[in-house]
């Protein structure tokens, strides 16, 4: 090797070692352990839930789906079962099977979509996509629709029972078929 090539190679090695040392400076194992013990990192369950929501959100990009099919895909991704579906949405399991089989010629009604979205904590963007596929949309002029938007945006981690409590207190019929109306 010529002298110039040797010096260039040594220079590259020095810059590589310098970059590696700089990276180690930013990643300190002890500091990382301390941050974990101080709960500065998210628990695994929250990260997994977030990743699931990301995958569900990615489904909305698939425009060649029906509303029921997209709901079914989201439910499969969430690894849900009929009894959990009923508990989370307060809807009968027949809606679960409609989504999973997608053999329906008609789209779900707005309150059905909102009950499913509210029960599973779907965000407003994904819910609007479901509504769009069903030929529906939320109207800002409708107080019921504004309440639906609110529970989807401001209460994603609340149960459907808690969301229904807010709806009832606002004079709006609660979501789900298994609800006794006051």
What tens digit of pLDDT does each residue of 26-84 get? 444 455 445 545 555 556 666 666 666 666 666 555 556 788 988 998 999 899 999 99
The two structure tokens encoding residue 71: 């709901």
Nearest in space to 71 (alpha carbons), one of 47, 35, 107: 107
What Rg do the C-alpha atoms of the chain give, in angstroms? 25
Neighbouring CB atoms inside 10 A of 96's CB total: 22
Q: The pTM is what?
A: 0.66
* 36 vs 30: CA distance, rounded Å: 10
The upper half-sphere exposure of residue 78, i.e. CA atoms within 13 Å in the direction of its Cβ, equals 27
* 113 vs 42: CA distance, rounded Å: 30
Q: What would the pLDDT profile of 53-63 be if each residue is shown by its tens digit? A: 666 666 555 55
For the chain, which residues make up each domain, given as ranges?
Answer: 3-37, 44-169
């Amino acid at each position: 090797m010529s002298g110039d090539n040797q010096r260039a190679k040594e220079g590259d090695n020095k810059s590589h070692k310098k970059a590696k040392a700089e990276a180690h400076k930013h990643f300190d194992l002890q500091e990382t352990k301390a941050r974990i013990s101080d709960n500065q990192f998210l628990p695994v369950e929250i990260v997994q839930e977030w990743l699931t929501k990301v995958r569900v959100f990615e489904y909305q990009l698939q425009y060649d789906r029906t509303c029921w099919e997209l709901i079914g895909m989201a439910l499969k991704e969430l690894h849900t079962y009929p009894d959990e579906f009923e508990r989370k949405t307060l809807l009968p399991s027949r809606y679960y099977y409609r989504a999973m089989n997608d053999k329906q010629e008609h789209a779900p009604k707005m309150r059905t979509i909102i009950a499913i979205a509210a029960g599973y904590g779907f965000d407003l963007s994904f819910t609007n996509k479901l509504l769009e596929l069903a030929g529906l949309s939320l109207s800002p002029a409708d107080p019921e629709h504004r309440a639906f938007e609110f529970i989807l945006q401001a209460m994603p981690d609340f149960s459907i029972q808690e969301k229904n409590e807010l709806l009832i207190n606002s004079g709006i019929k609660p979501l789900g078929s298994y609800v006794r109306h006051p």
